[in-house]
């Protein structure tokens, strides 16, 4: 009987099969250079990152065989509570923490948890932290929007916004910045006076990400927004056997038939409905405008790419515990990001993001 390959061996085989373009990108990342030998147990509590965490552990132990891992990986929702209560060293999480999680950690320790971005969310794999894409009806001449315009379309006037758990009046904006007709976006003729009908997700991690990135973490929405949940997900109500509350129903039966609609959603849901028109987005006024694609998600030039994180408890001004720092250095190395690519669910980080995260560890 042939021996069963380890996670690390599987990763190596999958990396070897990656297309040349992906290899070119990964080659720009710094290779892992082991520091002083470390030992002991690293506790992980939270989300297994779709199997990537195990790949990292197997790969890391090739260099540091005296390190063992104790994993408890039920869900991302368990990550911050474990960190707050001190039952974990690392808290792998598929998204940004809720205000209650940020606040509870601060109330216990008096400072914020250290967040390390370890991979990018997917472009088109269902359930793997996909980024957000904005769609319009195929007849709509609109081709691009800024993030500020997105706020004007989907948000409402507000007297501030949340930064962590602090309310910032700097993020206030007036009702004059609301965008409610297509003419306000420069469309003319029959479009000019037509009301923009908005569509999006009901409360979820994806919605929290949209609020954070677009609405300055405010809860003020355009009153006409219609909310939906992911078709086929556990969020579909028991009273909705036809899944009329699902995103694919919205995209297929509403947006596809409403020339004056606009929706934000995720590619895994939208790709089931042909003919919709994605909109290029710019982080700043004046561009550049980035078309959503696997490549623009990969290089993180698109403004609404999601991230996967590992959080840890590091008091400001103190060093990261050596075995944790060494493991995170491996995660952010070429070998660690090759494991992300090999897994196939998420996207490896570009070199600039890797460098930013490594600086956080020093």
- pLDDT per residue over 101-127, tens digit each? 999 999 999 999 999 999 999 999 999
pLDDT at 24: 53
* Contact indicator for 304, 289 with CB cutoff of 8 Å: no
Class of domain 7-121+307-360: alpha beta
Q: Examine domains 7-121+307-360 and 132-298 and report if their fold is the same.
A: yes
Closest CA to 94 of 205, 233, 200, 204: 205
Closest CA to 148 of 182, 123, 185: 185
CA atoms within 13 A on the CB side of 317: 1
Q: Mean pLDDT across the chain, nearest whole number?
A: 93
- H helix count then E strand count, the chain: 13, 14
Residue 256 and residue 240: Cα distance in Å, rounded? Answer: 21
* Range 87-106 average pLDDT: 96
* Contact indicator for 69, 44 with CB cutoff of 8 Å: yes
Residue 293 and residue 304: Cα distance in Å, rounded? Answer: 11
Q: Give pLDDT tens digits for 39-82.
A: 999 999 999 999 999 999 999 999 999 999 999 999 999 999 99
Concatenate the DSSP letters of all residues of 188-224 into one string.
-GGGTTPBPEEEEEPSSHHHHHHHHHTSTT---B-TT
Q: Determine the 3-state secondary structure of 20 from DSSP.
A: helix
CATH superfamily for 132-298 is Periplasmic binding protein-like II (3.40.190.10)
Residue 190 and residue 289: Cα distance in Å, rounded? Answer: 26
**pLDDT-derived band at 23, boundaries 50, 70, 90:** very low
Residue 269 and residue 201: Cα distance in Å, rounded? Answer: 11
Q: How many CB atoms lie within 10 A of CB 175?
A: 9
Residue 121: CB partners within 8 Å, gap ≥ 6? 94, 128, 129, 130, 131, 297, 305, 306, 307, 308, 346, 347
Q: What is the enclosing helix (H) or strand (E) of 93?
A: strand 90-93
- Residue 1: pLDDT over 60: no
The domain spans of the chain are 7-121+307-360, 132-298
Q: Give pLDDT tens digits for 231-240.
A: 999 999 999 9
Q: What is the enclosing helix (H) or strand (E) of 207?
A: helix 205-213
* Contact indicator for 239, 231 with CB cutoff of 8 Å: no
- Residue 344: pLDDT over 90: yes
- Residue 288: pLDDT over 60: yes
Q: How many CB atoms lie within 10 A of CB 90?
A: 26
Residue 238 and residue 249: Cα distance in Å, rounded? Answer: 16
DSSP conformation class of 172: -
Q: How many CB atoms lie within 10 A of CB 80?
A: 23
| Phi-psi map region of 205: left, alpha, beta (phi>0 left; psi -120 to 50 alpha) | alpha
């Amino acid at each position: 009987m042939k021996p069963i390959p380890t996670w690390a061996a599987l990763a190596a085989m999958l990396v070897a099969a990656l297309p040349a373009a992906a290899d070119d990108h990964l080659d720009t990342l710094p290779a892992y250079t082991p520091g002083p030998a470390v030992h002991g147990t690293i506790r992980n509590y939270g989300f297994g990152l779709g199997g990537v965490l195990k790949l990292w552990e197997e790969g890391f132990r090739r260099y540091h065989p005296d390190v063992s891992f104790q994993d408890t990986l039920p869900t991302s929702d368990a990550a911050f509570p474990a960190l707050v209560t001190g039952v974990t060293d690392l808290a792998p999480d598929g998204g940004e923490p809720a205000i209650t999680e940020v606040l509870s950690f601060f109330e216990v320790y008096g400072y914020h948890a250290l967040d390390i971005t370890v991979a990018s969310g997917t472009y088109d794999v269902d359930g793997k932290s996909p980024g957000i894409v904005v769609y319009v009806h195929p007849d709509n001449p609109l081709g691009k929007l800024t993030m500020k315009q997105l706020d004007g379309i989907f948000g409402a006037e507000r007297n501030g916004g949340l930064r962590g758990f602090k309310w910032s009046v700097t993020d206030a904006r007036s009702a004059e910045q609301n965008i409610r007709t297509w003419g306000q976006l420069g469309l003319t003729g029959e479009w000019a006076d037509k009301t923009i009908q908005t569509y999006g997700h009901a409360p979820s991690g994806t919605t929290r990400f949209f609020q954070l990135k677009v609405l300055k973490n405010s809860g003020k929405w355009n009153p006409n927004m219609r909310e939906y949940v992911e078709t086929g997900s556990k969020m579909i109500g028991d009273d909705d056997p036809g899944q009329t509350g699902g995103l694919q129903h919205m995209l297929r039966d509403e947006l596809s038939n409403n020339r004056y609609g606009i929706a934000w959603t995720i590619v895994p849901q939208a790709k089931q409905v042909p003919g919709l028109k994605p909109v290029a987005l710019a982080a700043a006024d004046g561009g550049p405008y980035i078309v959503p694609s696997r490549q623009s998600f990969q290089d993180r030039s698109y403004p609404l790419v999601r991230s996967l994180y590992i959080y840890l408890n590091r008091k400001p001004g103190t060093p990261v515990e050596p075995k944790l720092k060494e493991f995170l250095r491996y995660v952010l190395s070429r070998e660690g990001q090759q494991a992300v690519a090999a897994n196939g669910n998420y996207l490896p980080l570009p070199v600039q993001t890797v460098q930013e995260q490594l600086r956080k560890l020093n």
